[in-house]
């Protein structure tokens, strides 16, 4: 059996696709999760490691024998994200990890939002750690924007951020991460952006139409540096619009899967 590739957050929105892509490529995969897999999980060749990056428990055991790590796990806020990265790197250096692949966010060095700044700080920790690495920045996933709309669409008037998004398929980003994990450490690679830059209000109307609903959509504009950075497009990468699947494609796939 070949050396396993450890995927942190391997059951999440992105990580589950990374695991699938690596398995499709014939690689042995170990999933780091806070919980053991449910008893009804379909059998395959993946390994499971129970651990908690925020607490630092089980991480050393999960890394044992895994020369490559794909770090997809994300914490609830920027400070926790940085703390988790610090614990992972300490364990990785002890284990002799030869390649750590990290998914970050486009604009983490441009937008002064705490979650983004946590990603930037985590990048710096990785770059200074001595662990060979690859960093990929991607724009927001379609899932993220849909989750926002799931909440705001419950209001009498639907609120949408007063700026643009360039959302991308999590599955497409996962495919790129799997390629990078199989390859050699490459430092920071080219950003990965969705196929279209669109106003959030337009995307909200697309979301409503997909559900057969109609209501007024109102752009929410806020004061401050963070909103201004979003409004100025600090989180966009139009020159790297490499994604293929649109927001409409994503919503159609979700509707089909729900039937």
Residue range 187-210, pLDDT digits in tens: 999 999 999 999 999 999 999 999
Confidence of residue 77 (pLDDT cuts 50, 70, 90): confident
pLDDT in tens, 162-187: 999 999 999 999 999 999 999 999 99
Q: Single out the residue of 67, 168, 76, 187 nearest to residue 128, CA to CA.
A: 187
- pLDDT > 70? residue 72: yes
At 257 the pLDDT is 83
Domain ranges of the chain: 5-258
202: closest CA among 246, 254, 241?
Answer: 246
Q: Which fold has domain 5-258?
A: Rossmann fold (3.40.50)
User: Residue 156's CB: how many other CB atoms inside 10 A?
Assistant: 6
Long-range contacts of 122-129, Cβ-Cβ distance < 8 Å, separation of 24 or more: 122/81, 122/82, 122/85, 123/188, 125/82, 125/85, 125/86, 125/89, 126/85, 126/89, 126/100, 126/102, 129/89, 129/92, 129/93
Q: How much is the average pLDDT of 44-67?
A: 90
How many other CB atoms are there within 10 angstroms of residue 257's CB atom? 7
């Amino acid at each position: 059996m070949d050396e396993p590739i450890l995927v942190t957050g391997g059951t999440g929105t992105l990580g589950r696709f990374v695991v699938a892509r690596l398995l499709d490529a014939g690689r042995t995969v170990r999933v780091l999760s806070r919980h053991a897999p449910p008893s009804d999980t379909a059998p395959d060749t993946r390994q499971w490691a129970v651990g908690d990056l925020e607490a630092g428990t089980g991480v050393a055991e999960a890394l044992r024998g895994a020369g490559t790590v794909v770090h997809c796990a994300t914490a609830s806020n920027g400070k926790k994200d940085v703390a988790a990265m610090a614990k992972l790197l300490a364990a990785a250096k002890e284990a002799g990890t030869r390649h750590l692949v990290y998914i970050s966010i486009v604009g983490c060095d441009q937008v002064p939002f705490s979650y983004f700044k946590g990603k930037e700080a985590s990048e710096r920790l990785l770059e200074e750690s001595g662990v060979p690495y690859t960093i990929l920045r991607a724009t927001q996933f379609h899932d993220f924007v849909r989750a926002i709309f799931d909440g705001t669409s419950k209001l009498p008037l639907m609120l949408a951020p007063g700026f643009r998004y360039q959302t991308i398929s999590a599955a497409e980003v996962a495919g790129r991460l799997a390629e990078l994990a199989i390859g050699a450490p490459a430092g920071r690679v080219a950003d990965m952006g969705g196929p279209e830059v669109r106003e959030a209000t337009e995307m909200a109307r697309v979301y409503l139409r997909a559900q057969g609903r109609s209501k007024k959509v109102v752009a929410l504009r806020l004061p401050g540096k963070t909103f201004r950075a979003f409004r100025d497009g600090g989180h966009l990468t139009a020159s790297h619009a490499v994604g293929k699947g649109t927001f409409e494609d994503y919503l159609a796939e979700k509707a089909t899967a729900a039937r």
